[in-house]
Chain A
Amino acid sequence: SAVISQKPSRDICQRGTSLTIQCQVDSQVTMMFWYRQQPGQSLTLIATANQGSEATYESGFVIDKFPISRPNLTFSTLTVSNMSPEDSSIYLCSLEVTGGSGDTQYFGPGTRLTVL
């Protein structure tokens, strides 16, 4: 499986500011995903990011709040805009690896965000 890194690993931010999270992969992948995990909760898909096209957002998530870039096959960013305490979560990127028997998603280490 590919090696996935995220920056920053954690951050504490003030209300109203924005934070950009980076996801770097050591091999080229077509599909990358961004998830949010609110405290004590499960993972929820924010959007799917394919290189060369606009990200596809899930219900409840909008581009103005969570703009995503996918400039190449090894990199993506997620910005959390105009943050509020409710945005405090772990944000994880993942990539899809196609194997002999199908696809599996592997996850980055996550970015732990606290908004004051």
Chain B
Amino acid sequence: AQKVTQAQTEISVVEKEDVTLDCVYETRDTTYYLFWYKQPPSGELVFLIRRNSFDEQNEISGRYSWNFQKSTSSFNFTITASQVVDSAVYFCALSEAGDDKIIFGKGTRLHILP
């Protein structure tokens, strides 16, 4: 069965600090896809990244970086030099090949304090 665990319910850091959001997933499929979405206070869900199971390269996009480790079934998200605008709920998600359904984690609420 598919499952996504975001153990950190809520995190608070001071602006300019780095912060890592953890995501651990479970799947029996060998081909699957991992996602991160951002939900700011306004409520919309913003797509951040999609990673295929066969691509373990880490990715960096500006202040955002993602570390995909199949050996530990983890797909962690790091924000470098955090800013107040990064305050949001962040969801990690998983879908399996051939299944359009996305399974979301419970989300991590991130507070960036000025």
**Is A107 within 8 A of B45, CB to CB?**
yes
Determine chain A's interface SS by DSSP, over half rule: strand
**Is B52 within 8 A of A31, CB to CB?**
no
The verdict on A115 contacting chain B, using a C-beta distance below 8 Å, is no
With a cutoff of 8 Å between Cβ atoms, the chain B residues found around residue A101 in the complex are 50, 52, 55
The verdict on A92 contacting chain B, using a C-beta distance below 8 Å, is yes
Q: State which size class the interface on A falls in.
A: 20 to 34
Could you say which of A44, A102, A105 contacts B52, with CB atoms under 8 Å apart? Answer: A102
Could you say which of B42, B52, B91 contacts A43, with CB atoms under 8 Å apart? Answer: B91
Interface of B toward A, CB cutoff 8 Å: 33, 35, 37, 42-47, 50, 52, 55, 91, 95, 100-102, 104-107
Interface of A toward B, CB cutoff 8 Å: 1, 31, 33, 41-45, 48, 58, 90, 92, 94, 96, 101-110, 112
